[in-house]
Amino acid sequence: MSEAVSISEAKTNLSRLIAAAERGEEVTIRRANRPVVRLVPIDPPGPTRRPVVGALEGRISIADDVDDLGSEWDPYR
């Protein structure tokens, strides 16, 4: 489906026209019945990869005494 609207109509209905362009519809904006602008969606970026819980399992290890303070901390205990 193709839609052509005047500039004043585009001002009034911008949200609706953007939604139509996002759905793949062709939206043309006219000035004095002459097409001057076409609304097109920007290509979305590639899929965003989300971190996966447990992705590093078997690749890292945490020492059992990771939270033990050394003797240099005795004066502060």
pTM to 2 decimal places: 0.54
What is the residue extent of each domain of the chain? 2-39
Given a cut of 70, is residue 46 above it in pLDDT? no
The predicted pLDDT at position 24 comes to 85
Mean pLDDT, residues 24-40: 93
The predicted pLDDT at position 12 comes to 96
Residue written as tokens 């609706």? 16
- Fold of domain 2-39: YefM-like fold (3.40.1620)
Other CB atoms within 10 A of residue 47 CB: 6
Given a cut of 90, is residue 44 above it in pLDDT? no
- Amino acid identity for residue 15 in this structure: S
